[in-house]
Amino acid sequence: MMNSRLDAFYRSLRGQRICMLGVGRSNTPLIKTFLSKGAEVCACDRRTREQLGSVAEEIESAGARLQLGEDYLKNLDFDVIFRTPGIRYTLPELETARANGVALTSEMEVFFDVCPCKIIAVTGSDGKTTTTTLISEILQREGRRVHLGGNIGRPLLPEIENIHEDDVAVVELSSFQLISMRRSPDVAVITNISPNHLDMHKDMDEYVHAKEHIFLHQNGFSRTVLNLDNAITAPMVKEVRGQCLGFSRSKPLHFGCYTDDSGVVWMCFGEKKQRVLHINDILIPGSHNVENYMAATAAVWGMAKPETILSVARSFTGVEHRIELVRELDGVRYYNDSIATTPTRTMAGLRSFSQKVILIAGGYDKHIPFDVLGPAIVQNVKCLILMGATADKIEAVVKRTESEAAAAALPIVRVSSLDGAVQAAHAQAEAGDVILLSPACASFDMFKDFETRGDMFKNMVNAL
């Protein structure tokens, strides 16, 4: 049954001139939906018809008009503009359109306005996809009907008519989605915050404030889950309006989830303390995944039993491109961690192994400082293979570390392609070694996205 807010929204679309800005995976399904509700839709994208391929023909055959190429932002004379997360909210052309009375929104903003069920949302610099997936897995295993989407790749607004009041929407939100949002979810989770996307945000303050929108618009009946070991998220506690639960690997908490010295994960509400699991119960490797489980536990507490959380921990094999075992060949294990687009993410990947690894790193420059990565590489890497636009920067921070002797002894191999990196790693490896693709950088200098990079890596490894 259609809810009244959704019905009113769809009625408002009739006869409206709508611009879908950016023909991405979150906007393409919306075009057909809005056309079916009586709107006039124009799809605007920097790419050419040839670059869009069959998508252009699909959109046109549905009844939409196309505005493509370098001039796609000119003459944005519409009633409503829907932007994809990858298009900056602060573009001058969009500022002009807003000043001229055009409504500027996004698929996720409208979804928050019309969604009839509880929303749990996750953001963070690292770990948000795994945490979002864990929350969904736990609730589904508890018997709840869950709708998983957002930045994780699935638009939810086209499915809104099939979402019921007793369901749960679990969404991953990026800073690009959050920067313009003025509604917050029922349960908000911030896994951590470290420098990221500084090529798209004007500065770190803007990036952090965008993340804060996940809880700033909550009411007193909401819940916020914060990483109390993170220097940026811990002080946010004082800004939370509703219930605040923390998580920590370093200290006991009265309200939240923590790991004790013996590796037991506890959930506490004041004097009420419940054992959840032991870190050895968690199938996917890495201390960062202990944090992801603690964040997910705090988010679903009261909606799922501890034994359900334990069951997921013992059986969940992880999300693709996140320390994903590709194969073992001649005693060498190959791992795909293409999701690691920041130094902190790569450092977490390196800490997931009890031995030094052969690391493949480098890629597109997001203007993030690499200083923290140098010591981690010297300590955890036996051979460093560098590629991409950031190779010089990463090599420089390695050579600047205090352990100059260790840095000088670390073999560094420079390659011009991912295939060259795989071949070089294969040549360097001996039985018992781990080869880890964990670039610490985005992929845009060589690939469309981190998924494409990870898929290519897996294909190359499987072809050895």
Q: Which two tokens stand for residue 183?
A: 């509604």
Compute the radius of gyration of the chain from its Cα atoms: 23
Tell me the residue range of the domain where 303 lies: 109-315
pLDDT band at 230 (very low <50, low <70, confident <90, very high): very high
Mean pLDDT over 46-63 rounds to: 90
Residue 2 binned pLDDT confidence (cut-offs 50, 70, 90): low
Q: Which of 359, 273, 313, 330 has its CA nearest to residue 133?
A: 313
Region 7-11: mean pLDDT is 90
In the chain, the N- to C-terminal Cα span, in Å, equals 54
Q: What percent of the chain has pLDDT over 70?
A: 97
The average pLDDT across 238-254 equals 97
If asked whether residues 377 and 358 sit together in one domain, one would say yes
> Does one domain contain both 254 and 133?
yes
Read off the pLDDT of each residue in 148-165 and give the average, rounded to a whole number.
90
Q: Are residues 116 and 167 in the same domain?
A: yes
Query: pLDDT value at position 89?
Result: 85
Are 65 and 131 in a shared domain? no
17 and 125 part of one domain: no
Q: Both 191 and 306 in a single domain?
A: yes
Residue 412: CATH number of its domain: 3.90.190.20
CA 155 to mean position of chain CA atoms: 14
Is the predicted pLDDT of residue 200 greater than 80, yes or no?
A: no
* Ramachandran sector of residue 189 (left: φ over 0; alpha: ψ -120 to 50; beta: rest): beta
Boundary of a domain, candidates 294, 315, 336: 315
For residue 228, pLDDT over 90 is answered with yes
**Predicted confidence (pLDDT) at residue 1 exceeds the cutoff of 60:** no
User: In whole angstroms, how far apart are CA 253 and each of 27, 134, 245, 258, 262?
Assistant: 42, 22, 9, 6, 16
Place of tokens 């939240």: 256
**Chosen domain end from 77, 105, 133:** 105
pLDDT band at 196 (very low <50, low <70, confident <90, very high): low
Structure tokens at 448: 């469309």
Average pLDDT, whole number, for the chain? 93
Give dist(CA 252, CA 335) in Å, integer: 33
d(CA 204, CA 227): 18
Both 163 and 264 in one domain: the answer is: yes
Are 235 and 285 in the same domain? yes
Among residues 343, 404, 407, the alpha carbon closest in space to that of 372 is found at 343
Residues 295 and 406 occupy one common structural domain: no
Instruction: State the pairing for strand pair 434-437/357-361.
Output: parallel
* Phi, psi for residue 265 in degrees, rounded to 5: -95, 125
295-330 per-position pLDDT tens digit: 999 999 999 999 999 999 999 988 889 898 899 999
- Predicted confidence at residue 29, as pLDDT, reads 81
Give the C-alpha separation, 214 to 176, whole Å.
12
Q: Within this chain, do residues 426 and 303 fall inside the same structural domain, yes or no? A: no
Distance from C-alpha of 168 to C-alpha of 139, rounded to nearest angstrom = 8
Do 388 and 275 sit in the same domain of this protein?
no
Query: What's the pLDDT score for residue 26?
Result: 59
pTM: 0.80
105, 129, 161: which is the final residue of a domain?
105
The model's confidence at residue 86, banded by pLDDT at 50, 70 and 90, is: confident
What's the rounded Cα separation, in Å, for the pair 118 and 195? 30
**DSSP for 286-312?**
SHHHHHHHHHHHHHHBTTB-HHHHHHH
pLDDT at 199 > cutoff 90: no
Number of folded domains that form the chain:
3
Residue 165 clears pLDDT 60, i.e. is over it: yes
CA distance 436 to 438: 6
Claim to verify: residue 180 and residue 256 sit in the same structural domain: yes
The pLDDT value recorded for residue 198 is 57
SS3 content of the chain, % helix, strand, coil (to 5): 40, 20, 40
pLDDT digit string (tens) for 389-434?
Answer: 999 999 999 999 988 888 889 999 999 999 999 999 999 999 999 9
- State the Cα–Cα distance between residues 316 and 282, nearest whole angstrom: 8
Mind listing the pLDDT tens digit for each residue in 369-385? 999 999 999 999 999 99
Average pLDDT over residues 42-56: 91
CATH of the domain at 219: 3.40.1190.10
Paired with 188 in beta bridges are 121, 224
- The confidence band for 25, taking pLDDT boundaries of 50, 70 and 90, is low
Token pair listed for 54: 């069959």
CATH of the domain at 9: 3.40.50.720
